[in-house]
Structure 1
Amino acid sequence: MNGQALPEAAAGINVPSGADYDELIGRVADSPLYNEDLRPIRREERSWHGRNILALWVSISIVLTTYTLASGLIEEGMTWQEAIFTIGLGNVIVLIPMVLNAYAGVKYGIPFPVFVRSSFGTSGAKVAAMARGLVACGWFGIQTWLGALALSQILGRLLPAWSSLHGHNFIAFGVFWGFEMLIMAGGIEAIRALQRWAAPLLTLVLLALFGWAVHAGGGLSAPLAASEQLAHGGHSFAELFWPSLAANIGYWATLSLNIPDFTRYATSQKAQLFGQGVGLPIGMMATSFVGIFVTATAFMVFHKVIWNPIDLVPYITSSNAVLIIAMLAVMVAQLSINMAANVVSPANDISNLAPHLISFRGGVVITGLIGILMQPWYLIGNAAAYVFTWLSGYGSLLGAVGAVMIIDYWLLRGRRLELEALYVEDGLYPKWKINAFIAVLVAVGPMLPGFLIAATTPGGIPAHPSLLIAIYSFGWIWSFPVAGGLYYVLERMAARRLAVA
């Protein structure tokens, strides 16, 4: 539908309203590519302002995996300054595709599985969406496992026999998983409700940890100096920088694809620009610095490296009340990131496989089950496996997918989509965009040997890296421009052939 000029245009929104909207839905309602959860969201239905998106980013940044990310870089051989610089640069870079892909979500009110149909095809989109969805399922399992460990700490204080119970952490995992399923089945508004109080609470927890560290360490300088002793990985900054930067970009490569799942509820383009541009850097940098500083202080005070705050809290306090409050805060953090970053996307992706059969709530349950099957207790691994294999590995794949999406929408289509055609088979958009898959395979293919070598090498980085490892070490930084550039060239060549014919 070409549509007419709409009042929403001032806010960067191009979704029909009133009778026009009803007619649009009526024409696509019987399509196998449509269901209620995938429909475009009208402006009058949107309630996410800039402050809501900012709170979203702050809350999903203040989690254990962010906290330990900087400490993991130090363990591998970086100083605290180098780690903070690398994390900051990585998040500035990933913010660019985040904002670019978010634009279509605001403008057309569509989720990621619908948006990706324009670049990968109405059938090919399911492959691209499930690649991202499986990664999110892995993250869901990891965050749920960490939340379960916090629950297990609480139960260990309240029930003396708990810690001696066989498989007690797995029992806690099942309980926490079930609670998440109940909350997340409430849909997108349940997520927004959590952000209202989760972000302020988690900020207070960060400040409390930071306050303890300043007091116990006698200020800032001594703990930061002590952190230099943790840089014992045996690699120089030059060797660590590129794979670490790629891993930090990869940390949010998942959400950089499915950000339209959230921005389709944004009230304007300004709201998503402000919320993301402020919330992402602040949340990540603050959490990363606290992770480094608190870990360094713990090293000074207890003479041992305690990376995980779940393990640190019992050292800090013997008070049951304090420990329970702290562990509840950790559980809120894990619930918040799972609801915001790791469930909405795969649930939509799974629903997109059979829109008439699987609802959003059904997708949530399937996501949770896959998260269990991926055995998150193994996925966490050590710092090297987490940073150089998990983050860099999936970041390489999703970087290529994201590049195709951005080139297609911004350069080849000039930010214009045919909304109705996105929900129709055999219409304007073909079932398969072969050039998109060629671009992704050419970009990612040379990285697979390096990924396998890194995954089987202690520390993640071989002492004398080959060309294949060198390519893999760039991760997203390699796959994004290679896939994007090749896709642009292939599509331009195809357009010229059609013009000649």
Structure 2
Amino acid sequence: MKYQLEENGIVTLTDHGTDVSKESPLWNEDLRPTTKEEHSWTGYNYASLWIGMCICLPAYSMAAGLISLGMNWWQAVGTIILGNCIVLIPILLNSHAGTKFGIPYPVYARIWFGSKGTHIPSIARAVIGAGWFGINCWFGGASIDTLLMAMTGWGNVPGHLPIAFIAFWALNVWIAYRGPEAIKRMEFWAAPALIVMSLALLVWALTAAGGWGPMLSAPSKFTTTGEFLKIFFPALTGAIAFWSTLALNIPDFCRYAKSQKAQIVGQSVSLPSTMGLFSFIGVAVASATVVVYGEAIWDPAALLAKFSPFAILLGTLGIVLATLTTNVAANIVAPARAIENLAPRKLSFGAGAIITGLFALLMQPWYILENFSNYIFLWLGYYAALLGPIDGIAIADYWLVRKRRLHLVELYKTDGIYSYAGGYNKHAIWSLVAGVVFLFICKWTPGLGIIWDNAWFIGLLISGLLYWALMKEDASLISAEQYDSITLKGGARKGQSFEHIS
């Protein structure tokens, strides 16, 4: 039987494949493979997606955190660019699977963890996504609160900060509830506006300070290479971890790509360049504030509060737009899909978005942002140790174990080849446990801290290589001949419907 059609590197279900899958309890309209018509996202859509996500308050603040730890401006910005170039590699590797087979992240995870085991990596990603969702809502809400106080008597309202936070949180949840296509449209128009606003801020910094300012000429606080490396490696891990979440669930977006070229070019051009440029703008603007106001102001809302009412209004709209474009796309899609995947026949993407928003409140984002040490070393460091091993398993499975051959129909069977034993792939579970446990042992073992400082990369290698070794002879693997027997290449003959192909 021909269950799937491969055309120009994109695999979709035939009518027969859809008919035998759509009654499965693992199937719904959000989790099914995309159709040929739904592969409509261009390179610009992916560039605008990343521009919208990268221009955000946490990215602006990341360079500030690194400078506060002793780096000079080019060390901070260079670390961020390097980290994003590194994380771009797993992003593109996992993007290939999403583009080729049109499946979202929870379904992709069924391949390596099993039809039930998929909840392990999906919920792990969901928890981190909810945490980031709360962080961005807190950033955005606090910024709006600051700007409202500068324009009005908002500061006299009892509980003004919690009110601003909850209102902004509700706006984020409402937009996310509308689904990925609404996110696509928002990113399309928001990206150029955010670029203009960011460059306008940079122009102000240059003109107001009469040059680049003292911070860009300030030397590094490190006197030896050893002192620098002690901060550099955990900082690099933090920079990688910043988008390691998207390295996992990027299939949620790339399942809509028109082609592999569209998603590769769009993402490669936009991610490292936007993160580097926006981080530099953060440093340059803070440097200018030293000249203009006598102190470094890292919070863009606190800076905008010093401007005219009209500039404050525009700045408020910019902060709202920047936070929305990041939060809704990067931090709520994966958790919503993971929650939906728990009961595909009962839960929708919208319900998942609401549950994610509520869980984000329970994670107390205000504590994570209490100081930069919590942000860079605690939050980013700990989840890098979890996501690195999962990334390693995903990449090893698709590229090394299965060699890019999947059976789409089997992904929606409760007793198919991707169900393994009782719905769980023990090889994936043991590989994940081995990678995470090893990293935490190194964290608490004197002399091995350097391994923890590079947790994401080391965990990826350990779990990925172990998984590859364990899965080489697994019964779920499909040979090239078996793949050809279920896949129609190039499309049906004119006038022939898919349900008649066998």
Q: Does 1:328 align with 2:317?
A: yes
Q: Does 1:124 align with 2:117?
A: yes
Preserved CA contact (<8 Å) 1:396 1:479: yes
CA shift for structure 1 position 40: 0.7
Preserved CA contact (<8 Å) 1:392 1:475: yes
Q: Does 1:14 align with 2:3?
A: no
1:193-247 C-alpha deviation (Å, 9 max, x unpaired)? 1112211111111111101111122223644114x37889998212111111111
Preserved CA contact (<8 Å) 2:147 2:304: no
- The alignment partner of 1:393 has SS state of helix
CA shift for structure 1 position 388: 1.4
CA distance in 2, matches of 1:65, 1:199: 17
What residue ranges of structure 1 are gaps of 5+ in the alignment?
454-464, 496-501
CA shift for structure 1 position 151: 2.1
CA shift for structure 1 position 30: 2.3
Preserved CA contact (<8 Å) 1:59 1:283: no
Structure 1 pair 14/233, CA: closer, same or farther in 2 (3 Å)? same
Q: Could you tell me which of 385, 390, 393 is aligned with 1:396? A: 385
Task: List aligned pairs for 1:272-291, cutoff 5 A.
Answer: 272-291=263-282
Q: Could you tell me which of 27, 30, 41 is aligned with 2:23? A: 30
Preserved CA contact (<8 Å) 1:257 1:402: yes
Preserved CA contact (<8 Å) 1:77 1:236: no
Q: Does 1:100 align with 2:93?
A: yes
Q: Could you tell me which of 123, 143, 146 is aligned with 2:136? A: 143
What residue ranges of structure 2 are gaps of 5+ in the alignment?
476-502
Structure 1 pair 449/167, CA: closer, same or farther in 2 (3 Å)? farther
CA distance in 1, matches of 2:158, 2:383: 34
| TM-score (structure 2 length as normaliser) | 0.90
Task: List aligned pairs for 1:229-244, cutoff 5 A.
Answer: 236-244=227-235
CA distance in 2, matches of 1:201, 1:4: 41
Show the counterpart of 2:449. Answer: 469
CA distance in 2, matches of 1:117, 1:233: 48
Q: After alignment, is 299-308 or 163-172 more displaced? A: 299-308
CA shift for structure 1 position 135: 0.1
CA distance in 1, matches of 2:226, 2:196: 36
One-letter amino acid of the counterpart of residue 486, structure 1: L
Q: Does 1:78 align with 2:71?
A: yes
Show the counterpart of 2:467. Answer: 487
One-letter amino acid of the counterpart of residue 458, structure 2: W
CA distance in 1, matches of 2:4, 2:101: 14
1:380-410 C-alpha deviation (Å, 9 max, x unpaired)? 2211221111112101211100110110111
CA shift for structure 1 position 146: 1.2
- The RMSD of aligned alpha carbons is 2.1
CA distance in 1, matches of 2:413, 2:342: 14
Structure 1 pair 122/81, CA: closer, same or farther in 2 (3 Å)? same
CA distance in 2, matches of 1:157, 1:304: 19
Structure 1 pair 141/231, CA: closer, same or farther in 2 (3 Å)? farther
Show the counterpart of 2:498. Answer: none
The number of residues matched between the two structures is 472
CA distance in 2, matches of 1:364, 1:357: 14
CA distance in 1, matches of 2:256, 2:145: 36
- The alignment partner of 1:267 has SS state of coil
| TM-score (structure 1 length as normaliser) | 0.90
Task: List aligned pairs for 1:28-427, cutoff 5 A.
Answer: 28-160=21-153, 162-220=154-212, 222-226=214-218, 228=219, 236-315=227-306, 317=307, 319-427=308-416
CA distance in 2, matches of 1:31, 1:336: 34
CA distance in 1, matches of 2:461, 2:237: 13
CA shift for structure 1 position 293: 1.2
CA distance in 2, matches of 1:307, 1:229: 18
- The alignment partner of 1:426 has SS state of coil
One-letter amino acid of the counterpart of residue 277, structure 2: A
Preserved CA contact (<8 Å) 1:449 1:469: no
- The alignment partner of 1:14 has SS state of strand
